[in-house]
Structure 1
């Protein structure tokens, strides 16, 4: 199998003018996706609104994402934010329900449960999450990959513990899907934004629901959540969509016009292949950091590398056109399909002075 470093499709789709190692914040938009957005904007600007084509793009993106995580498209809702979907699930819990989360997990996942005020939010270190599930735990909410430091959750152990105690699971896959192969059927709910590893613009996000959605009320349902949307524009919606589309937010059509192309690219290359490429680059970076006397957070197999106490170096790297992040005092680098060995070595050269 051809390496992604020399894959013609990848080389033709990306033309970053920097050493871009910041996909954990925002992915690089492929050329086909950028062209699609330009075309849609051109249509808008001359009085031909991109509505019919835009909603077709939403459905195509929904179907592509469903295939990536191994479920039927009828179980996928299209929206714009993980926080909105976390809020949706928070509203479905009874007062006093216990929600178990990992310490310092991403706020978009955790805060919607915290702000209700009448839920029991319990937080434990990530490695202890599976063992912390207990009788009475209603929901375990966790990021598949931690945003701050790239640690990968033991999702199988968390799933098994939750099932053993009758708890539901909600996985935020925003830092995982696209490079870490996932089966949405392993969990009750899975959500992700599209603007990181799925390479879409901000404004596209997805929620995978179980077949039985009766315990969750679509509290933000508008006309797009109707079984026949254009017959649902006025007054109460008389028939909500029978599928997970009842949880759709009114979509950002420009974002989805790009997402249909970015998801097709991820599907064509395959998360397993992408993941192997990303992990190899991350390992190369870890080895180089060790030679420079730095010790990254232990995150075997992750595409994200975080170095405690080195966050201050992000500004120096940016001045040299090497794009990384500073998170919780960590220097965070994230490697994706458009990155190469040369990108890794460039970052190490700058860090080495």
Structure 2
């Protein structure tokens, strides 16, 4: 069990795969089951509670340091990215690091009328130029856990008048993260934020909101939602709520519970716990003669060991094979014993 709050987690395996999907805290499982029971019984509460969805929005906003009015809820990073891609003028130059996650790249590529550029991750800041309209990148890389030189990227973007879209999916929850530093952020919440799949968040700065059209806006996009359920809306919500997608209530009831747990725990405590386990693993790999991708995140990838993933799985240890690497990721439900167990199997 996790050492921060063991009562919340009881994995039956050595689960080292948060970078793919986080485990749900017990309170989130209970919230989902409760709503499902209400729904199955046909009781009034079974349709879901918008107040709980709002609580999830507010909790996420506090975790990433923005007013909740700057946060929209949704179901996937790709949908959020598609909204931003649609707002770009034809011919605009959009810059990506090579090998970033496809959900933030494809919505721009498929438009067909944007100028797409790629650059090595380590030289992202240097690749920004006066013609760059938007820089799109993940602060923590999914494949191998590398962390961007974020200050340099933001400063270069500001110097050249480029906007920034940051994917915080592999960062928010363990890495202290300030979403107010970017024009846009997108976050899939089902990894380090321990929410169910089907929960994601978009943050939009007040200035960037001026050019972002709520293309998928339904009745929730209205300033007065409950009086806008039929016919065209009379007025858009003045803040990021205009970009809300209809919530998947089962997922968001669980999300509110998970995000509340992370607030109670504190991101700084999570950061210390997760990175200490990753450092122990890195040191053990070095003793075995393996060289992981350099870094200090709780995502640790080892080139050339992807073929060991099935062996680990048979031993009840769940990690991932990504981009030719063996990727292990450490979070609240992991302990030093988990680190030692994967090292023991790899040593064999």
TM-score w.r.t. length of structure 1: 0.96
1:99-178 map, 5 Å: 99-178=94-173
Matched position secondary structure for 1:316: helix
TM-superposition CA deviations, 1:290-341 (whole Å, max 9, x none): 1112111112x21100011111111110111101001011100000111100
CA 1:18–1:165 in 2, change beyond 3 Å: closer, same or farther? same
The Cα shift of 1:50 comes to 3.9
**Offset at 1:57?**
1.4
Alignment of 1:32 with 2:5, yes or no, is no
Q: Classify the secondary structure of the residue corresponding to 2:304.
A: coil
Aligned residues of 1:144 and 1:172 also touching (Cα < 8 A): yes
Q: Which residue of 2 aligns with 1:279?
A: 275
* Residue 287 (structure 1) shift: 1.0
Deviation, structure 1 residue 226: 1.5
Given that residues 3 and 333 in structure 2 are in contact (C-alpha distance below 8 angstroms), is that contact kept between their aligned partners in structure 1? no
**1:269 positional shift:** 1.1
Question: CA offsets, 1:232-263, max 9 Å, x none?
Answer: 22222222211101000111111110011111
Structure 1 residues 18 and 210, CA gap change in structure 2 (3 angstroms): same
Q: By how many angstroms is 1:49 displaced? A: 4.8
Work out the CA distance in 2 between the residues paired with 1:73 and 1:325.
34
Cα deviation, residue 52, structure 1: 6.7
Aligned with 2:210: secondary structure?
coil
Mapped pair 1:247 → 2:221: no
Match of 2:218 in 1: 222
Match of 1:261 in 2: 257
TM normalised by structure 2 equals 0.97
Contact 1:21 1:339 in 2 (8 A): yes
Consecutive unaligned residues in structure 2, runs of 5 or more = none
Q: What secondary structure is seen at the aligned counterpart in 1 of 2:343?
A: helix
Q: Does 1:84 align with 2:79?
A: yes
Secondary structure of the 1:295 match is coil
Cα RMSD (Å) of the superposition?
A: 1.2
Aligned partner of residue 312 in structure 1, secondary structure:
helix
- The Cα of 1:5 is off from its aligned counterpart by 5.2
Which residue of 318, 326, 334 maps to 1:331? 326
Q: Is the 8 A contact 1:51 1:253 kept in 2?
A: no
- Write the distance in 2 (CA, Å) between the matches of 1:331 and 1:194: 23
Aligned to 1:97: 92
Q: Distance in 2 between matches of 1:50 and 1:21?
A: 36
Q: CA offset at residue 184 of structure 1?
A: 1.0
Q: List runs of 5+ in structure 1 lacking aligned partners.
A: none
Cα contact 1:54–1:256 (8 A) shared by 2: no
Q: Is contact 2:39–2:46 with CA below 8 Å preserved after alignment?
A: no
**1:5, 1:321 → 2: CA distance?**
17
Which residue of structure 2 lines up, in the alignment, with residue 192 of structure 1?
Answer: 187
1:56 lines up with 2:51 in the alignment = yes
Q: For residues 9-47 of structure 1, give each alpha carbon's deviation from its aligned partner in whole angstroms, at most 9, with x where no partner exists.
A: x10000000000000000000001000100000000011
CA distance in 1, matches of 2:61, 2:46: 23
**What is the CA–CA distance in structure 2 between the aligned matches of 1:82 and 1:321, rounded to whole Å?**
30
Find the aligned partners of 1:264 and 1:148 in 2 and give their Cα distance: 28
* SS across alignment from 2:286: helix
In the alignment, is the contact (CA less than 8 A) between 1:109 and 1:172 conserved in 2? yes
For the residues of structure 2 that align with 1:279 and 1:198, how far apart are their CA atoms?
16
